[in-house]
Structure 1
Amino acid sequence: MAIALRQPSVIPGFGITLGFTIFYLGLLIVIPIAGLLLYTLQMSWDDFWRAVSDRQVVASYKLSFGASLIAALINLVFGAIVAWVLVRYRFTGKRIVDALVDLPFAMPTAVAGIALVTLYASTGWVGQYLNVYGIRIAYTQIGVIVALTYIGLPFVVRTVQPVLEDLDKEAEEASAIMGANRFTTIRRVILPALLPALLTGFALAFARALGEYGSVIFISGNLPFRTEITPLLIVAKAEQFDYAGAAAIAAFLLLLLINGLQWWASRRYR
């Protein structure tokens, strides 16, 4: 009777590395999230609902989700264009432009917020000219969108860029030879290959924008019911030692984000 023996892996140590991976993810992600949810479960339903359904909190939800969605959509379009230019064209200063894409990753968010205020305030370098036409950026909801767009751009560019680099140009040439115009080639050849990367970059930019705090609080003005984001309310309640209220708002926001990402993933893989 032949006995099938399990062939050893070329690189041994799968069990150890898998155990370390589970331990590491559990320590950094699962345990903090579980602790947040368990802390929230100690509240009564009435207290929880009162904390998450307050008018000021609901207004912050609308702003945070709406501005994050708009910023992610903007980055979806212009991030793809930036990635296309960096991959398909050669020009002077290309390396500098490529490095500038990572600037929102490297720059502290508070510094980014101060820079945006300096730029878009009514007396700023750009804001003073927009103010002549009655356009205000700083301390408005538009300023929130600008800040969230700034911090989310690298997620789309760095997700799409490797896919573009591996994209076979022969398929585009074949499409042109068969008589397809540029728009048809983009729609039928390039876009289907980039779609998974675009959706991933969009989801990452949206999730990052939803939790952004440092760069937004400087340019938003933090006006209740107008420019106050949800992360600011969470921090404010924590500073007031209302840990239950902060945990309830954070848990509700987390559940909304998880459900939204699950819905997005199910539609993507369907």
Structure 2
Amino acid sequence: MKFKTNSPLPGFAPALFYTVLYLALIVVIPLSGLFFKTAELGLAQFWDLISGERVTHALTISFTTALAAAILNAVFGLIIAWVFVRYDFTGKGLFDAIIDLPFALPTAVAGIALSTLYSGSGWLGSLFNKIGIEIAFTPLGIVIALTFIGLPFVVRSVEPVLRELEKELEEAAASLGANRWQTLYHVVLPTLLPALLSGFALAFARGVGEYGSVIFIAGNVPYVSEVAPLLIVIKLEEYDYAGATAVAAAMLLISFVLLILINALQVWSQRYKSSSQNVSTTPAQEFVA
């Protein structure tokens, strides 16, 4: 088997060896062990374990709240990245550093802070309760927690691409008669879409498996706000290793399929961007509403 490299620097063979070895030890072997353990259950027993009402509800809560939080982060993370890159204002450095706070903050601390803030007696929770909206101990509280921990993934994925985006392209589009929305749709978004999808995928993947920041604000009520990672811990504490393994394998399979779909969408967006750049069009064709 021959490998090709476009780098003029030596060291491809040892670099490839260490890459494969590292991925095998850190990723492939642990995940393979989970699948081997799941295979011992048999297909019928595995289906019985994951098709229970409590398990399916916990899986649904985990994936739907993670998806909702990732969508929110994709929208507002793009806006925040745009503000940080395109505008200068007092305290910009401080606010830029705060974005990375969820990376450094222990998830348990984040969970306690959010549950205190959004509980019925908290500063914000009491205000929402007056208008009939309960946040703590509901799926809405889970979405808020996942939005908090996932926002940096989108902002830090979009910022570098946005910094490299040439303002001359936007100015050229404006000189050709495009309004701001047409410039945003035809010039800015096609360039940012791959990075935005990468941040979305990272925020979604982090949200699916999040535990520490969720358990405090979720309340962990079965059939209401119980997430799948907590259910795995509960089954382990009950020495139900087969059940915990089945739920973990189900989460892994669903996450893997969803991430493949997101990556396929990202590849499509990159190809669409390349093809659109190669197609010669007149300014009138490019910016017709």
Q: Gaps spanning 5+ residues in structure 2: where?
A: 269-289
Q: 1:70 aligns with which of 60, 68, 72?
A: 68
**Matching residue of 1:3:** none
Which residue pairs with 1:135 in the alignment? 133
Where does 1:6-85 land on structure 2 (aligned, <5 Å)? 10-85=8-83
2:194 is aligned to: 196
Q: Find the counterpart in structure 2 of residue 251 from structure 1.
A: 249
Bigger mean CA offset, 132-141 vs 28-37: 132-141
Question: One-letter code of the match for 1:14?
Answer: F
- Partner SS for 2:123: coil
CA offset at residue 226 of structure 1? Answer: 0.6
Give the fraction of aligned pairs with identical amino acids, expressed as a percent: 54
Which one of the candidate residues 91, 94, 97 is aligned to 1:96? 94
Equivalent residue letter for 1:97: F
Secondary structure in structure 2 of the residue aligned to 1:119: helix
User: What is the letter of the counterpart of residue 223 of structure 2?
Assistant: F
Q: Distance in 2 between matches of 1:70 and 1:109?
A: 19
Flag the 1:235–1:7 CA change in 2: closer, same or farther, 3 A. closer
TM (normalized to structure 1)?
0.95
- The Cα shift of 1:146 comes to 0.4
Q: What are the superposed Cα offsets for residues 29-56 of structure 1, whole Å, 9 maximum, x if unpaired?
A: 0000000000000112222111111100
Partner Cα distance (2:265, 2:118) in 1:
38
> Structure 1 residues 152, 9: CA separation in 2 closer, same or farther (over 3 Å shift)?
closer
Task: Determine the C-alpha separation between the residues in 2 that align with 1:137 and 1:173.
Answer: 44
Measure, in 2, the Cα distance between the counterparts of 1:252 and 1:196.
28
Write the deviation string for residues 202-243 of structure 1: whole angstroms up to 9, x where unpaired. Answer: 111111100000000000000000100011111111121211
Q: Which runs of 5+ in 1 are unaligned?
A: 1-5
Which residue, 230, 233, 256 being the options, matches 1:232?
Answer: 230
Partner of 2:152: 154
TM-score (norm 2): 0.89
Shift of the 42–98 alpha-carbon distance from structure 1 to 2, 3 Å rule, reads: same
Q: Report what 1:107 is aligned to.
A: 105
Structure 1 residues 9 and 172 mapped into 2: Cα distance closer, same or farther (>3 Å)? Answer: closer
- Tell me how far 1:265 sits from its aligned partner: 2.1
1:10 Cα shift?
4.4
Alignment partner, residue 185 of structure 1: 183
Is the 2:66–2:143 Cα contact (8 Å) retained in structure 1? yes
Q: CA-atom RMSD, angstroms?
A: 1.6
Question: Aligned partner of 2:250: which letter?
Answer: F
1:121 counterpart residue number: 119
Aligned to 1:207: 205
Aligned-partner Cα distance in 1 for 2:5–2:243:
54
- TM superposition shift of 1:15: 1.1
Shift of 1:132: 1.7
Quick one: distance in 2 between partners of 1:267 and 1:168? 25
SS in 2 for 1:126: helix
